[in-house]
Amino acid sequence: MLKRMSALLLVGATVMTMAACGSGGSGPASSGGGGGDTLTMGFSQVGAESGWRTANTKSVQDSAKAAGIELKFSDAQQKQENQIKAIRSFIQQKVDVIAFSPVVESGWDTVLKEAKNANIPVILTDRAVDSADTSLYKTFLGSDFVAEGKKAGQWLVEEYKDSTETVNIVELQGTTGSAPANDRKAGFAEVIGADPKFKVIASQTGDFTRAKGKEVMEAFLKSNPDIDVLYAHNDDMGLGAIEAIEGAGKVPGKDIKIITVDAVKDGMQALADGKINYIVECSPLLGPQLMDLAKKVAAGEQVPTRVETEETTFTQEQAKQALPSRQY
C-alpha cells in the first residue's frame, strides 16, 4: 500500500526539473557548504517499488553526477526505521545536505532535530512530512496533486463544452487515504462541480493497480450501463479498466472517454493508440531541480519553502511525439 501511495505521490515533478537542469547543472560545485571541495548529499529513497520510483532514483543519481555533487544514496525499502537510520548515518558522516522522500508523513521530528542541531539542511522530495515545526526542513520539492486533478477536470469541461446532456463519470481512486488520491479527487471535483451536467455516478478505489482497476471497472460497467467518461487517478488503473471496457464490447477512448494521471510509458502508449484520451503528467525527473536547490541551501541562500514541480499534459497527438523519447 505504501508503495502505491509513494508512486502516486511522486508523480508531480517533471517540467521544472528540466528547466532547472539547464541552468543549475552547469555551474561548478564551488558553493560547497561544508567547507570541502565538493558538495556531499545524503539521499534516502523510499524504495524501488515502481517504474516511477526507479526513474526518480535514476534522475537523482544522474543529475548529482552531472552537477558534480557526491551522492550518498540509501534505499529505505519502504520502511521508516531504515530511513531514520540512514539519516542518522548521514549526520555522522557530516554530509552537506540531506534530501529524502519520507515513507510516511509523521514521526520525523526527532531525527530532523538532530540534523538541525548538526547544522545540516534538509530537503524533502516528492512527499511532505506533517511536522508542525517547518524550520526542521528548508524546502519541499514535489508536485501539486490538486492541480493535477484540476487539469483533468479542465480538459473534460473543454471536451464537453458544446454538449448539454448529462455526462456520466466514473472515477477510479488511488489508495484510500493517500495524498494523491485525496487531492486528485478534490481538484477534479472542484472543476467539474461548477457545471451540474457532470455527474460522478460511481467512485471506488482501485488501489493504483491494474488488477484492481480492471476488477472495479468490470463491476462499474455492469451496475451502470451508461458511462461516458472514466477518470483514473493513475495510468495503471486506467490500463486495467481499458481491458474491462474492451471485454464489455465497448471501445475505450470512443464509447467511454478516459482521463488518467502519471504518463508512464505504458500509459503513453495507450494514449498514442487512442485508448486513452488525455493524460495529466506527473514526472519523477526532479533530480536537476533537487541539485539546484541543494547547492543553494548549502550556500546559505534563501529558497522558497515549497517548490512545485512543473507538470505538463498530453493529448493523443502529443503522446505520439513524446513516446519515442520516454524514459520510464
- 136 makes contact with other proteins (CB under 8 A): no
For residue 62, state whether it binds other proteins (rule: CB under 8 A): no
Contact between 50 and other proteins by CB under 8 A: the answer reads yes
By C-beta, is 77 or 119 nearer to other proteins? Answer: 77
Question: Under 8 Å CB-to-CB from 106, ≥6 apart: which residues?
Answer: 129, 130, 131
Is 234 among the residues that bind other proteins (CB under 8 A)? Answer: no
Closest CA to 194 of 165, 247, 154: 154
Member of 204, 274, 322, 323 binding other proteins (CB under 8 A): 204
- Per CB under 8 A, does 275 bind other proteins? no
Residue 294, judged by CB atoms within 10 A of its CB (0-12, 13-18, 19+), counts as: buried
CA–centroid distance for 54 within its chain: 12
327 binds other proteins (CB under 8 A): no
Cβ neighbours for 69, distance < 8 A, ≥ 6 positions apart = 29, 38, 39, 40, 41, 291, 294, 295
Q: Which of 126, 183, 236, 281 binds other proteins (CB under 8 A)?
A: 236
Q: Indicate the DSSP class of residue 12.
A: G
Strands 167-173 and 278-281: unpaired
Write down the least CB distance from residue 221 to other proteins, Å. Answer: 9
Closest separation in Å from C-beta 27 to other proteins: 33
Q: Does 240 bind other proteins (CB under 8 A)?
A: yes
Cell of 136: 526542521
Closest CB to other proteins among 28 and 247?
Answer: 247
209 binds other proteins (CB under 8 A): yes
Helices within 193-314 (DSSP H only): 210-223, 235-247, 265-272, 287-298
Tell which positions 143-202 bind other proteins, by CB under 8 A.
173, 176-177, 202
Residues in 254-273 at the binding interface with other proteins, rule: CB under 8 A = 266
* Matching residue, cell 485508448: 275
Which residue's CB is nearer to other proteins, number 24 or number 51?
51
If one asks whether residue 205 binds other proteins (CB under 8 A), the answer comes out as yes
Q: Quick check: 169 and 192 in contact, CB under 8 A?
A: yes
Q: Which of 18, 48, 104, 118 binds other proteins (CB under 8 A)?
A: 48
Cβ–Cβ under 8 Å, residues 9 and 277 = no
Asked if residues 319 and 279 have their Cβ atoms less than 8 Å apart, the reply is yes
* Contacts (CB under 8 A) with other proteins, residues 211-230: 211, 214-216, 218-220, 222-223
User: Which residues lie near other proteins (CB under 8 A)?
Assistant: 1, 3-4, 47-51, 53-54, 173, 176-177, 202-205, 207, 209-211, 214-216, 218-220, 222-223, 236, 239-240, 243, 247-249, 266
